[in-house]
Amino acid sequence: MKTWSDIAKVQPLASKVIINSMKKGRVSHAYLLQGERGTGKEAIARLIAKGLFCEDKQGVEPCHTCNACKRIDSRNHPDVHWIEPEGQSIKIEQIKNLQKEFTYSGVESNQKVYIIVGADTLTLNAANRILKFLEEPSKKTTAIMLTENSQAIIPTIRSRCQVIDLQPLNPSHFQQQLIDAGVQEKSAKLLSSLTNNFDEAIAWNEDEWFATARKLMVQLVEVFADQPDDAYLFIHNHWVTNFKERKEQEQGLDLLLLAFKDILYFHIGNEDRLIVFTPGDERLEKLGMYFSQEKLVDILHHLLQAKQKLKQNVNPTLVMEQLTLQIQR
């Protein structure tokens, strides 16, 4: 999604609100863009920034080819500042550095923009510090805050922003986009259940690590059913060594969620909703005989708890060990 026309196709309401503001010359001093991954938050943030700096706009549509537009795309524009989490959070030192930058005049104009990616990860001190910008906005300063978890944004920040809700993308439409790009239908179905980001889905589809992750996910589910006493060893010998980074660990749990949901769908006769397995798969029938509906609901609950623990920075190996014991019970 590179133009407002692209955004309008998937986020018609959000694009209409922002475009109308731009036409009237009333760009908000602070936006909070909230929506799932892949719904266009960063694309919208870039377009707002381009709209303020573009040297050759056509109406509200930036040219995308001028020096300013190119530098915004490459994150090298001196008056457009990007703030992203360092580790698991955005720290107060990052906000202090931003404040220092804003004490200087704009390099090429008096306009300044700062874009905070993952605004829900602001530490409490950092969030309180950012309030100074929001409470005393300069006419030439625009804040754009992006979040997947709007509930984690403190109320004092929310109340000072124009909140833009982004709607989830249509999974079937996204799945067809992937198929049109050459992704096999089964893989497209799986990828569209894990992400709404086209570039990310294509990268995963071509990544050997992701192919290995899919195999390990199915193998682990089968180990739980066929050799439950070996599950703990499988976690340490195969799972932990493959899922090393936090994003990979979260993705591993997402894959397990899809697999166990498939077994539950098999139980209740919703085989048209299968993602990991296919109707008539002997492995699915065998897993359906081993796991009861009651047990599957319990496992899905524990998987969601495990995902939450990862977000709370609990040791990932400990999370998987606990999950394994819970599934074995």
Asked if residue 200 has pLDDT above 90, the reply is no
Kindly indicate the confidence band of residue 197, based on its pLDDT and cuts at 50, 70 and 90: confident
Kindly indicate the confidence band of residue 311, based on its pLDDT and cuts at 50, 70 and 90: confident
Mean pLDDT for 208-214 is: 96
CA distance 154 to 58: 37
CATH code of domain 4-165: 3.40.50.300
The two tokens of residue 124 are 């409490």
> What percent of the chain stands above pLDDT 90?
75
Q: Tokens 């498939």 belong to which residue?
A: 262
Asked if residue 194 has pLDDT above 80, the reply is yes
Q: Which residues have CB under 8 Å from 248's CB, separation 6+?
A: 209, 213, 242
Kindly indicate the confidence band of residue 244, based on its pLDDT and cuts at 50, 70 and 90: very high
Asked if residue 116 has pLDDT above 90, the reply is yes
pLDDT at 151: 85
The two tokens of residue 286 are 């065998």
Asked if residue 274 has pLDDT above 80, the reply is yes
Asked if residue 1 has pLDDT above 80, the reply is no
Hey, how many other C-beta atoms are within 10 angstroms of the C-beta on 2? 12
Asked if residue 126 has pLDDT above 90, the reply is yes
Statement: 207-328 belongs to CATH 1.20.272.10:
yes
Kindly indicate the confidence band of residue 278, based on its pLDDT and cuts at 50, 70 and 90: very high
Beta-sheet strands, E only, within the chain = 30-34, 80-83, 112-117, 141-147, 162-165
Mean pLDDT for 206-216 is: 96
Backbone angles phi, psi at 258, to 5 degrees: -65, -40
Give tens-digit pLDDT for 127-172. 999 988 788 766 688 999 999 888 889 999 999 999 999 988 777 8
Residue closest to 164 by CA, chosen among 146, 140, 142: 146
Mean pLDDT of the chain: 92
Q: pTM for the complete prediction? A: 0.70
Mean pLDDT for 190-219 is: 92
Asked if residue 106 has pLDDT above 80, the reply is no
pLDDT at 313: 79
Mean pLDDT for 87-93 is: 89
Give the amino acid at 240. V
Asked if residue 272 has pLDDT above 80, the reply is yes
Asked if residue 247 has pLDDT above 90, the reply is no
pLDDT at 18: 97
HSE, CB side, 13 Å, CA atoms: give it for residue 207. 13
Asked if residue 105 has pLDDT above 70, the reply is no
Asked if residue 86 has pLDDT above 70, the reply is yes
Give tens-digit pLDDT for 21-65. 999 989 999 999 999 877 889 999 999 999 999 999 999 999 999
- The ranges assigned to domains in the chain are 4-165, 207-328
Shared fold status for 4-165 and 207-328: no
